[in-house]
Structure 1
Amino acid sequence: MSLIKGEFLIIIKIIASCLTAGFLIFFISALSGEDLKKNNDMIGKLSASMQEISIQLDTGIQERISKLGEVPSINPFKKFYCIEFAKEIHDISYLTERQKILFDIYNVRDFENKSKRLVALTENSDIDSLLNELEIVKRELKNSVNLINKRKKNLTRQRNAYIIFFFILWVILYIYYSRGIVSKKE
């Protein structure tokens, strides 16, 4: 009977030390201004965004351009082609803007200026400038992938540090609850 009582006390100490360590991690992270749940969700969003941008860079952009076909030489058709091409560029650049929204650095004026520049290029049917704009968007997407990857690594490193800290606290608290850190000599 005393053996069962002793094992029950050990289980209670393990659970109590685990809960105490969990609360300490929560309070320490709250005091440092970090929301662990939000950061963990952000890692998932960043992974999905990075994968979507990589797919667009690898095959998506080329597929979109090939769907438009050849550039017509007659002006009304060339203008419609430029409009469709500008729409595709605008849709692709939205991926970069979503990354900026995730990082809280979104600038509405910057996005509006890009849109106005695309409209001006379509009015002149300037396909070469639209191609240059597409190259700029590709570079922005590559930069976005690098920024997302860097942010994801930082958040993952922080999450791993808190997990390790949790287990260290758990062991220390279990030892403290079991027999105390300093044993008393009688």
Structure 2
Amino acid sequence: MPATPSPSFPPPPSHPPYGQPRYGAAPHPHPQSLSSDWDPAPPRSRTGLIVRHLCTVLYFPVHVLLIIALAVAVFAFGLVAELLIFFDKPMERALDRALDPFPFRPRWWVTWSELRHERAGDPEFYRARIGERLGRKKPTDTQAFFRFHTYRGIGARGLLDVAAEHGWQLDPDKKLRPLRQVDLARKARQAT
């Protein structure tokens, strides 16, 4: 009786070390076992993108004024509290609480370059933008984060692939939020 050939399975994909533990922390799950939240987001409609872009252009000056007003208010409150009460840590927490809910860049904003490349389905635009930003990091930098709009077209998995090429991996100390932002970490290199 002839021997039946064993099924041939394709070799496992070579993935960068996404989930290697750092400093004894538990590793994050491997990206293959992650949910569809890590996949690229579907492109939005052209009309919706145009409306969002126009709203972005119109709202931008108002947003800048709001950020300036909030910063002045927090600074004035902090200055008065420092003079009267003499405490530092509560002021830092108050500043964090005041600025955290107010994003520097709202999620609904669409820039001109995002408008052009998202509808075209151009993943190289997102890869180049991520690679350029990681390439500008100093060798001593150990933390980086990317908000969803920077990797929307390639998904968080694609971001991890590009980041691994530059020596970055998921930060095991941060919460996984692929639909909001991805936090990365690497070991500091000595500046030469």
Query: Structure 2-normalised TM-score?
Result: 0.29
Q: Identify the structure with the greater strand proportion.
A: 2
By percentage of residues, which structure has more helix? 1
Q: Which of the pair has more CA radius of gyration?
A: 1
Q: TM-score, normalised by structure 1?
A: 0.30
Structure scoring higher RCO (CA < 8 A, sep ≥ 6) equals 1
